[in-house]
Structure formats: structure tokens, C-alpha cells
Structure 1
Amino acid sequence: MTAIKVLLTGANGFIGSHILDALLRHGLQVTAVVRSELKATQVRRDFPATEDQLNFVIVPDISAPGAYTKILKADPSVQYIIHTASPLNYSLGKTVEDFVNPAVRGTREILEAAAQYGCNVQRVVVTGSFAAIGNPEDMQGGGKVYTSQDWNPVTAEKLDARNPRLAYWFSKTLAERAAWAFMDECKRSFDLVVLNPPMVYGPLRHTVESLEELNVTTYNIWRDFLNASPDHPLPHEWVHADIDVRDLAETHYNALFSQAASNKRYLVTRGRICNQEIADILRETIPELRDRVPVGEPGVSSLPRDAFDVDGGAAMEDLQLTVRPAADTFRDLGKQLLLLEAKCLSEHWA
């Protein structure tokens, strides 16, 4: 039987590497899109025993016109596409366009290429974000329960380059709306599924050489919890909902084949979590962190009374989303961060 072939963008990233792992474990053939030969080399090292399943294509700029044309023209046997590549950089000094253009063009480019040259493509799965669902101007939400039906209401008129977080949220919203507009307007043979996770936590599947190379959410766990002290205040609550990256990756695999998911978007989450809960888990499951992680008020929720809630029931029903306990997520991540920290320190003093 001919193996199922998937084109995966962002394969060397935090989420993308876990998706790659899931695809390979399930026996699929993967063409991984990365931005340089150096990144391809690192992915080969992270997945050393899969040469017959895994090959690479270098795309330096995912938003460039025709970025994916050559890939699909050269290999018309691709049946599924998973698009995870998108910028996430809150560095000050960025313009709104620095967020919007790569996100929108990157998504649009891969859909256009699939429509024109992906003669066997059956489905495109896009990794979106809760940023396209929640309202970043009201993160308390008055007790609102977010579902897959909600959209971020922020408009371009409210954007300011001095608020890169708002620009990022807007870019994810605009990119997803552009994807659905493309599906409505253009002739194509495939359908679309968009997965919108909130905060994504869990251990790394890809190699990083320093703490500075960590993705944003993982670095924040190290900075605000592991690199702190018992009397340090808990970090400010922001998006108090999450998913384990390993569960998210498996959901991407399931999304390739679910008939019920055709042309739908999903909020992929296991539910609410607060920073006090994260601190409690780290202190309870990793004894060596008890003198480092903020104590706060153990067992007492750090969420405001009117904190928003999330409902991931649609993903659980249509995509067989299963979620592991938060204790597993943060225990596994905390232990891995301690090992990385020790490695960095030993190299610094070597």
C-alpha cells in the first residue's frame, strides 16, 4: 500500500517538531519545510532513524510569492498539508506589518499552491491560535466561555506598533480569516481544518542549545517560575487556558482524517489553568525547585472571579482530542528545563 504523504511546514519548531514526531510514529511519509539547510540538519539529528520517511525542502521566506509552488509541482503525490510556520516575536520596534504580512501571506501562499498544483491534496490543516478567538482587550471576559465559534474582535484601527502583542493577535486573526476567504472564493479540491490552541506547554521534541533559543511560552516558564525565588510574585495572568504540546500534535494527526472536521475550526484546549496551579505543580513534582519557584498561595486560584473559561468539547468529539493531566505537562517540562540549564552552565564555565 502506498504510504500517505504529508507536507509539514515549520517542522523544526516547538509545535512542528511534535507534529513531525506524531506523523512519523503513525507511519506517514513527511516532506518537512524548513528555512535553511542548517535547520534541516538539526531535524535530521533529532529524528535519526527515519530517512525512508522524511525528506526536506528549504523555503527561506514562507511569505514570498510562489514559496510552495516548486514543492507541489515537483511532488504531486502530496495528499495532506499541515501548515504550522508563523512568526511569533514580541520584540519592540516591530511594525504591525511585520506581524501581519508573514502570517497572512504565508497561509495564503500555501493554499494557493495547493489549489494550483496540489492535484492530490485532500486536506490542509492550519495551526492557528486562540489569538484568533479571544479578545485581547478584555482577558477577564466577564465570565465568558470561549468556543470555536468566537472570533477576536480587534480591528486594524486599534493597532499600534508599540503594542506588539495586540499586533500578533490581530495577525493570527487576519491570517485565519484570509484562509477561510480563500476557501470561499477559489476553486480547489481540498478542504480546510484550523486548530486554535491557547497557551501550548510541554517538553521540547527539538534540540535547542541555549535558554535564549526557547520558544516564547517555554522561555516564560523558565524565567517566571524556575529562575525566580519563593517570595517572588506570581507572574500576571494572561491567557489562562492551555494544552499539552503532545496532545496538540496528536490532534493534528487526527485532524487529517476526521470526516466530521471538514471545513471547521476548533479551539483545542484541556481547559483553564492559573499560574498558582503551575507553581504548585512544579514545587510538588520537582523537589529541587522548591527553593526557586514562587510560593504564592498554594491551592488558591490566582484567577479573578470573572475569569473567562474555554470549551474544547468540539475538538474532543470530532478530533478525538485527549488530554493528559497538567501535572504531567509541567513536571516533564520543568525537568527538561533543569537539564538544559545545567548544560548551559557547564558549557559556560568549561
Structure 2
Amino acid sequence: MTAPGAFDEALKSEPPLLVHGGKQDFLEPAVKGTTEVLEGIQRVAANSVKRVIFTSSFAAVGAFGREDETRRVYTEQDWNPVELDQIAEDDKRLAYLASKKFAEQAAWDFQKKGVNWDLVSLNPPMVYGPLVHRVSNSADFNENMYALTRTQGLARAHLLAMDVAEAGDNRFIICAGTVTSQQIADIFRLNVLGAEVKTPKGMPGAKTLDADAYTADTAKAEKVEKVWGLKWTDMRDTFKDLGKQLLEIEAAEGQ
């Protein structure tokens, strides 16, 4: 994906073009993969592409413990403060977070060169919902965080971003709210048959989100909801569907 011309043939296809990132791609592949797509546009589709919708991440926004985040409210103006020389060779987590920042910055820098298309960056936090990719082992799941986006909601945001003129040249933290492990456990125990005996009870109904936790400014997300027409899936349905799938994966592991 970093080779010159790697995306040229795909870019000749009818819009929209969907580009999927690999899980193991960090730093150089992330940045060069991004710029190669954009350079490919300029080579073979400069006159036909009107907008590039970039799937970024809240990883490009938050500090993730590298700065004081006490009650901090992140906005689209914020960038992850990590620098290249701060990343240890074996620190894959930080390399992943940094790759999101530098890939998105590379896209914005490229767009400033003077092109015929505008750029929209969507920066979701943790994305929850039934998995599309195959997972054969529950150990392969990501660790969670408490800011929430539903898979279907994020997909719809991409589609809507294609047609909303004022979205151009903007970043959007696509966030439906917050969720805690206790809330997820409560939903599993009450709504997913078979999960009640496998899910820790904790303190049902308790508000366990740290009062000093950072949050994301949802003003733009609310605008996406009201002006663009994006409708979020109910949180209970999100985790109900996910819980059912988790039980299916667990059952398959035991076969």
C-alpha cells in the first residue's frame, strides 16, 4: 500500500471508493498509505473527485494520559500530543495512536497543496456493535474505552458526509455519548439470554464513570444528528446485538 501507484486502478472505479486499513499497519504504512491514495487521486481522478472522506479516529485527538486530562473536554481543534521521537520500538499501542494522528495530518497537509476536492475527517472514539470481520477467539477483542459510537451510526455518517456541502474541510468527533462497563454489564444481564450467568454483576445501576474523566465536545456530533439527519441506534440495542454475538463466539470456541 506504500508503493507508488498502488491505488491507481481502484481509483478509476465509480465513486464512492472505500479504503480499508489493516490492523497491523502503523506509522509509515499509515502515513504513506494515506498520501498514496491522495496522490493517486491527483494522477488519475483529479477532475472527478470532489470530496475525500477520511476515516480517522479519536486516537488522533486525545492525549491518552500524555497530558493532564482531568475533566478535559476535547474538541475538533485538539490533536494527540505524541511526537515520533517519543515512541519506543516495542510500544505498539502508542505507535497505533500516533499512526492515526500522523496519517490524518498528512491528509490535511496534502489537501492544503491546492486540489479540486475538499476533505472531511470523521474521528470516532470506540466503535461498538456486532463485528463484521471474523473473530475466532475472544482474546482478539479490543480493550474498551467509555466514549461510544455505534458501527451502523458511523457508517451512516460516512454516507451523509458525501452529500452535505458544509461538511467540507471539517473534522467531526462522531460520538453518541459515553458508556461504562457497568452499563454494558447491566444491558447484557437484562437483555441477552445466557449472558446473565456469565457477566459480572458489579453494582447494577451505579454510575461508575469517574467524575474527573475526560469527555468529548459533542456539539458537532449533535449538528450531524440534527442537520445531516444522522440517527443513532439505541445503546441498549447496540450492546444487545453485540452480546448475542459474543456468546456465539464463545460457544464456537468450545466446539
Give the TM-score normalised by structure 2.
0.89
CA drift at 1:139:
8.1
Deviations 1:101-121 (A, max 9, x none): 111111111111112211311
Is 1:271 equivalent to 2:198 in the alignment? no
- Tell me what 1:143 maps to: 71
2 CA distance for matches of 1:290 and 1:191? 48
Tell whether 2:23 aligns with 1:88: yes
1:345 and 2:248 aligned: no
Post-superposition Cα deviations, 1:11-33, rounded to whole Å, max 9, x if no partner, equal: xxxxxxxxxxxxxxxxxxxxxxx
Letter in 2 for 1:211: N
Q: Secondary structure in 1 aligned to 2:171?
A: strand
> In the TM superposition, what are the counterparts of 1:265-344 in structure 2 within 5 Å?
265-318=171-224, 319-344=228-253
Q: Does 1:240 align with 2:143?
A: no
Work out the CA distance in 2 between the residues paired with 1:131 and 1:161. 19
Q: Is the 8 A contact 1:82 1:126 kept in 2?
A: no
The answer to whether residue 4 in structure 2 is matched with residue 69 in structure 1 is no
Distance 1:248 1:254 in 2: 10
Work out whether residues 26 and 95 of structure 2, in 8 Å CA contact, stay in contact via their aligned partners in 1.
yes
Give 1:269's aligned amino acid. Answer: C
C-alpha separation between the residues in 2 aligned to 1:104 and 1:266?
20
Residue 199 (structure 1) aligned with residue 126 (structure 2): yes
User: Match for residue 55 of structure 2?
Assistant: 127
The offset of 1:136, in angstroms, is 1.4
Report the Cα offset of residue 344 of structure 1: 4.2
Distance 2:139 2:4 in 1: 29
The alpha-carbon deviation at position 320 of structure 1 amounts to: 3.1
Q: RCO greater where, 1 or 2, for CA within 8 Å and sep 6 or more?
A: 2
- Say if 2:136 is the partner of 1:210: yes
Q: Which amino acid aligns with 2:197?
A: D
CA 1:143–1:341 in structure 2 vs 1: closer, same or farther (change >3 Å)? same
The answer to whether 1:178 aligns with 2:106 is yes
Gaps of 5+ in 2: none
Q: Deviations over 1:31-85 (max 9, x none)?
A: xxxxxxxxxxxxxxxxxxxxxxxxxxxxxxx22221111333x54xx344443x2
Partner AA of 1:163 in structure 2 = D
Preserved CA contact (<8 Å) 2:138 2:249: no
Change (3 A) 1:212 1:298: closer
Secondary structure (helix, strand or coil) at the match of 1:141 reads coil
Shift of 1:213: 9.6
Instruction: Provide the C-alpha distance between the structure 1 equivalents of 2:161 and 2:74, rounded to a whole number of angstroms.
Output: 21
- C-alpha spacing 1:192/1:81, structure 2 compared with 1 (3 Å): farther
**How many equivalent pairs are there?**
251
3-state SS of paired residue (1:288): coil
**Post-superposition CA distance 1:180-237 (Å, at most 9, x none):** 000012x42211111111001101345x2623696x43xx5xxxxxxxxxxxxxxxxx
Distance 1:180 1:209 in 2: 34
Aligned-residue CA RMSD in angstroms? Answer: 2.2
Q: Does 1:105 align with 2:11?
A: no
> What are structure 1's unaligned runs of at least 5 residues?
1-61, 90-97, 221-237
Q: Percent identity?
A: 38
Counterpart pick for 1:258 among 144, 164, 168: 164
